[in-house]
Amino acid sequence: MRIFTFDTTLRDGTQGEAVSFSADDKILVLRKLDELGIDYVEGGWPGSNPKDKEFFARAAQLNQDEPLKHTRLAAFGATRLARNKVEDDSSVNALVHAGTPVVTIFGKSWDLHVHRALNISENENLQLIGDTVKYLKAHGKEVVYDAEHFFDGYKNNRDFALRTIEAAKNGGADVLVLCDTNGGMLTSQLAQICADVRKRFDGVLGIHTHNDSELGVANALAAIEQGFAHVQGCINGYGERCGNANLTSIIANLELKMGHTTIGKERLANLTAASRFIAELANLPMRGDQPYTGHSAFAHKGGVHVNAVLKDSATYEHINPKLVGNRQRVLLSDLSGRGSVLYKLKQHGLEDRLDDAARRELLDRMKQMEFQGYELEAAEGTFELLVREALRPGLQLFEVVSYEVTTKSNGSSAATVTLKAQDGVHSATATGNGPVNALDVALRQALSALYPAIREVRLTDYKVRVLDFRKGTAARVRVLIEWSDHRRSWSTVGVSENVIEASWLALVDALRLELMRLDEKDSTIEQAVEDYCWGV
């Protein structure tokens, strides 16, 4: 069955704590969702704030210059105020003039809200719904009616809740959407109510669920099983309180598990990229354990699991990760077995260069490092360095003679680094914004005369974690640093009771690895290694 997808990340999603998009961001999200093949995108409430007003104006102009290829943009608002005639209601007219082909309005389905929030009669509430839908239809809009708090209203006063959606239908609404606004419905109860509504109403029925009971996705799928053909949600499950139903998971489940068509199998391969793109625009960390699109969704750590996955990925993966644009990962830790090491060696094209004895020795070294507090699963660069050192145990690119750093009361720092290479001793002194920055600059200066390509390596992320908080400021810390050289990125890790030393270890390992790669495409590095390393 064809299921229509309705994304409300730009409206309901922005009600989540710490979720905010500028007008520019919203245009980018709209384009990305259009590219993904989402049927409807709800852009916001044009009558509520200047940012949404600007977004709809820009979206209208943009759609003239470069029309959306698939998505229909929707503006969101409420039924008219009880004191206003519909033609005189400024919020309703803002929806008319928003320039969108689709308008979503919400109305009250729960008699509690009618009596206490609106302070009007039930019949007056039905009039608000019918008048607003008719007015919007008269202006040529496709109308999606959101029955707010429908399930709570149904449980409290079934007849009235049903009459509210009947009022919207009689007014000409194109889609009737049942909303679990408080997110408290259990799946079995929601399914029974949806089945009752499906028996009484033809046409397109939709579902809008929240995740306050950790059932947002399950409840949305349950409605689909009752014949609903329109599903709403937010990318990555953003939204108020505990979030809206995660539309990325809904889409993947509908396509891959339930045999329905949403964005189509071809576009499904773009799901992970879209999910992470929107997380980046929201400036929020992507949940590693998010189903289907998270970095850990297809990650394996236990040795038994890895051994089985290497033989047949179906043993511990419910789908092929490529179907949603994700990838399989094997994590390295003290739980790793030889299968994990072999997997990683294959990733780096090195599986044929270490025999069984060397692999066992490498695994033992890794486990010892993990015991000391190293985290190799997040620092594949450190693992690669261990492998390359095992391949060429006598290789010595440079030797650290000494390093020291001082910090002044104004926060500035100065560092001096002395290295020994085949051609002699190299020293450099540099200042920086703090001790780690000063050491980074001094180390590069000392190395760049020997290895010019080091200038291309840049630090992109820096994290510190306390490993034993009970020791306070004397605790051991783990420093994880992420790097890039414009072609690839990698992370290295250092552990020490001294945060400066831990940072230094990660700094040195990152640059040592870059030099050891012997990338055939980079003759500068290759020649530098050949010229200046000794003990090979």
CA dihedral 303, 307, 312, 315 (to 10 degrees): -40
- What confidence tier does 303 reach under pLDDT thresholds 50, 70, 90? low
Beta strand residue intervals within 186-236, DSSP E = 204-209, 230-233
Residue 270, pLDDT above cutoff 90 = yes
Residue 195, pLDDT above cutoff 60 = yes
| Average pLDDT rounded to a whole number, residues 374-399 | 71
pTM > 0.85: yes or no: no
| Average pLDDT rounded to a whole number, residues 353-375 | 68
Window from 142-146, 443-447, 465-469, 508-512 with minimum mean pLDDT: 465-469
Highest mean pLDDT among 48-57, 145-154, 456-465: 145-154
Note the pLDDT of residue 374.
Answer: 64
The tokens describing 93, both together, are 């007219």
Number of C-alpha atoms within 13 angstroms, CB side, residue 358?
16
- What confidence tier does 486 reach under pLDDT thresholds 50, 70, 90? low
Q: Cα(first)–Cα(last) distance of the chain, in Å?
A: 64
Neighbours of 379 (CB within 10 A): 26
Note the pLDDT of residue 53.
Answer: 87
Signed CA dihedral, 270, 274, 280, 281: sign only: positive
Better pLDDT: 369 or 240:
240
Residue by residue, DSSP assigns 80-117 as PPTTS-GGG-HHHHHHHTT--SEEEEEEE--HHHIIII
Residue 300, pLDDT above cutoff 50 = yes
Note the pLDDT of residue 528.
Answer: 40
Note the pLDDT of residue 430.
Answer: 93
Hey, what domains does the chain have and what are their CATH numbers? 4-281 (3.20.20.70), 299-372 (no CATH), 399-532 (3.30.160.270)
Window from 199-213, 269-283, 370-384, 401-415 with minimum mean pLDDT: 370-384
Residue 530, pLDDT above cutoff 50 = no
Note the pLDDT of residue 310.
Answer: 65
Window from 134-138, 189-193, 352-356 with minimum mean pLDDT: 352-356
Q: What is the DSSP letter of 36?
A: H
Better pLDDT: 390 or 323:
323
Note the pLDDT of residue 492.
Answer: 83
Q: Quote the CA–CA distance of 371 and 368 in Å, as a whole number.
A: 5
What is the percent of the chain where pLDDT is above 70? Answer: 84
Neighbours of 123 (CB within 10 A): 10
Residue by residue, DSSP assigns 242-272 as T-B-BHHHHHHHHHHTS--BSS-HHHHTTHH
Better pLDDT: 355 or 527:
355
Note the pLDDT of residue 119.
Answer: 94
Note the pLDDT of residue 448.
Answer: 82
Better pLDDT: 413 or 342:
413
Neighbours of 283 (CB within 10 A): 11
Note the pLDDT of residue 371.
Answer: 64
| Average pLDDT rounded to a whole number, residues 282-295 | 87
| Average pLDDT rounded to a whole number, residues 333-357 | 60
- What confidence tier does 197 reach under pLDDT thresholds 50, 70, 90? very high
DSSP H or E segment with residue 491:
strand 489-496
| Average pLDDT rounded to a whole number, residues 169-192 | 98
* Average pLDDT score over the chain: 85
